[in-house]
Structure 1
Amino acid sequence: MLVVNYNTESYICDLLQDLLAQTLPTDQWQVVIVNNSRNDQLQIMVRRFQSLLSCTIIQSPQNVGFGRAMNLAAEHAQGELLLLMNPDMRMLQDDYLEKLLEHAQQNPEFGVISTQVLDDDGQDVSTYHYYEFGQTLGYDNQICWFQGSLMLMDADVFTKMGGFDTDFFMYCEDVDLCYRLKKSGKPLLKYEALKIYHYGGASEPSRGLDFYLKYFKSRWLFAHKHLTPADFQALLENQNHKAKNRVRFYGVLRLLSQHYVEKYNKNLATRIIITKIQTESADWLYQK
């Protein structure tokens, strides 16, 4: 199991407790955690589990983002299968790992396997049938990608794919990897019988303008990588026109009610990003 920590030590503690309750024996799996936080809280917390399970902590030199950290964790993993997990997951079934392993063994040619990932409302948020901006990129009526909070992959396949694309600091690296897997002919499989809970947003709970600038930058990076230049330009113009009108509209409404602040921030972030692409070129999207 591969986990990235960024100020999520308490969630990792709960996750490790859940893993110890699994029916799959602890000698059949290991946990590799890349620590993107510059403190010793994770080391202190994990000590209590050292005699109970195999847990390796890799200290990154700085916050290198989600994809780079997962790639680093994969380099230190010893198993044939990699279970990529967010730290804020909670097990709902004691035989989750055992059943997931059985399903992988029954479907050896899989690209990615995911299960139901439940949010606070009990809704499954694991699966998406379109890419960024509603694009299907030729994969109509199919699973296009799985949320990166829970992805099972063969270690060799992960390596051959080059892991996560490190141009993505955070967000959309899961979309990109799943798209590349589909292009390579590897299927995305959903195991509906299993469920896991995802708290969501543990490492970045704020949803202000800064969040949307980071998130939308990754969305536009994905679009630039995988759309034709003509389609990318058309998307820019379409989204810019919509965002320009919405910024004016929600800019007024947000003065009347806090309910509209988030919508204003989303559209303002879109306008800022598109303006930078138009004035500095799309190369700006690749800057960390």
Structure 2
Amino acid sequence: MSASAKAGRDRVAVVILNWNGVRFLREYLPSVVKHTPREIADVIVADNGSTDESLEVLREEFPDVRRMEFDVNHGFAEGYNIAIRELADSYKYAVLLNSDVKVDDDWLTELYRFMQAHPEVGALQPKLLSLTNPSEFEYAGAMGGFLDRNGYPYCRGRIFDTVEADTGQYDTPMEVEWASGAALMVDTRLYVELGGLDKEFFAHMEEIDLCWRIRLAGRQVWAIPTAHVYHLGGGSLPASNPKKTYLNFRNNLLMLYKNLPRKGRGAKLFYRRLLDTLAWAKFVATANFKNASAIVGAHRDFAKMRSLYGNPDARENLIAWNPNILIEYFAKSRKRFSEIRNHAGK
């Protein structure tokens, strides 16, 4: 490969998946175009079968932004898969950037340099701050994510509904267990080799599943605080939406089934059924019957879908010794990542 070809291949594709998000395009795409360094990256909008005026707005107001146009809505996961498979031969890296993300300054170069210097890294994220309250971390990924021993996700800067203010307490680059899909930088070749995001998930937790598979493949996932972006969050479905409840519960079960070793997996899933039953009971007790029904539907469809994944070979249990976040948060009142004993000093 010539030096010029290699230099081109080392570029970054900043891919924004859009579906009927013309408001987000007009509000946030200008900042991405302005602050993405052209010497290393191209901004690309993959339109996921929009029926609003998104394509017209892209053609007329952002003529220099490359478009990828899909005929139908493939969902978050498969939409990105189609785009990155097409781009993988031309770009060494890709950033899966949500359409409701605003950036300033040069948000990308530090991520790019870290990936270039650390070939053992398969994915990473910047610091995620709240667009509506920039002094706080953003719920969706904060400063990098972890899973507790039962598969519940939490972050440096956010545990359950407790979101911390950013006072620089997590300003050290750190290897994490998952990086947020709101601004996820990946090695494109690895992404394609691993099958990308699981299209059966459709949306929600697909990036956590991908990062788990990246780690099982022997690569690392990091969070880099010297780069930051601002995420609106809730751009697709609000937290209280029963559809989101359904996807989160179902996809979490699928993720555990896929990535845990066969030995002990059944016991873990049985225990999760008990915990999810408590969540169902809480919804019923508060007369939130739609969300209670969503949990029932999630377990029903998980039982149907798990056959898609067969029985994985023996593998390391990457969450076996992680803390029990339910006990840490509710029983011991440890609301901050820095207070959780198993992570002290990391």
Same fold, TM-score > 0.5, yes or no: yes
**Inter-partner Cα distance in structure 2 for 1:211 and 1:247:** 14
**Inter-partner Cα distance in structure 2 for 1:160 and 1:169:** 19
Residue 134 of structure 1 aligns with an amino acid whose one-letter code is G
Match of 2:307 in 1: 283
Aligned length in residues:
269
**Inter-partner Cα distance in structure 2 for 1:50 and 1:194:** 25
Structure 2 unaligned segments of length 5 or more: list them.
1-13, 154-173, 311-346
Match of 1:258 in 2: none
Q: In structure 2, the residue corresponding to 1:114 is in which secondary structure?
A: strand
Using the size of structure 1 for normalisation, the TM-score is: 0.80
**Which structure shows the higher helix fraction?**
1
Pair 1:56–1:76, CA change in 2 (3 A): farther
**Inter-partner Cα distance in structure 1 for 2:263 and 2:293:** 24
* Cα deviation, residue 20, structure 1: 3.1
Match of 1:99 in 2: 110
Structure 1 unaligned segments of length 5 or more: list them.
255-260
In the alignment, is the contact (CA less than 8 A) between 1:132 and 1:222 conserved in 2?
Answer: no
Match of 1:62 in 2: 72
Pair 1:212–1:132, CA change in 2 (3 A): farther
Match of 2:294 in 1: 269
* Cα deviation, residue 245, structure 1: 4.9
Which residue of 128, 139, 148 maps to 2:181? 148
- Is residue 176 from structure 1 mapped to residue 209 from structure 2 by the alignment? yes
Match of 2:29 in 1: 16
In the alignment, is the contact (CA less than 8 A) between 1:217 and 1:285 conserved in 2?
Answer: no
Which residue of 73, 76, 86 maps to 2:83? 73
Which residue of 46, 49, 56 maps to 1:37? 49
Using the size of structure 2 for normalisation, the TM-score is: 0.68
* Cα deviation, residue 108, structure 1: 3.6
Match of 2:242 in 1: 209
**Inter-partner Cα distance in structure 2 for 1:49 and 1:131:** 45
Residue 30 of structure 2 aligns with an amino acid whose one-letter code is Q
* Cα deviation, residue 250, structure 1: 4.0
**Inter-partner Cα distance in structure 2 for 1:189 and 1:56:** 28
Greater Cα offset, 190-199 or 12-21:
12-21
**Inter-partner Cα distance in structure 2 for 1:149 and 1:11:** 14
In the alignment, is the contact (CA less than 8 A) between 1:243 and 1:267 conserved in 2?
Answer: no
In the alignment, is the contact (CA less than 8 A) between 2:95 and 2:183 conserved in 1?
Answer: yes
**Inter-partner Cα distance in structure 1 for 2:193 and 2:41:** 22
Residue 44 of structure 2 aligns with an amino acid whose one-letter code is V
Residue 36 of structure 1 aligns with an amino acid whose one-letter code is N
For each residue in 1:51-81, what CA deviation from the matched residue of structure 2 results, as whole angstroms up to 9, or x when unmatched? Answer: 4x3x232222322111211111113333222
- Is residue 192 from structure 1 mapped to residue 225 from structure 2 by the alignment? yes
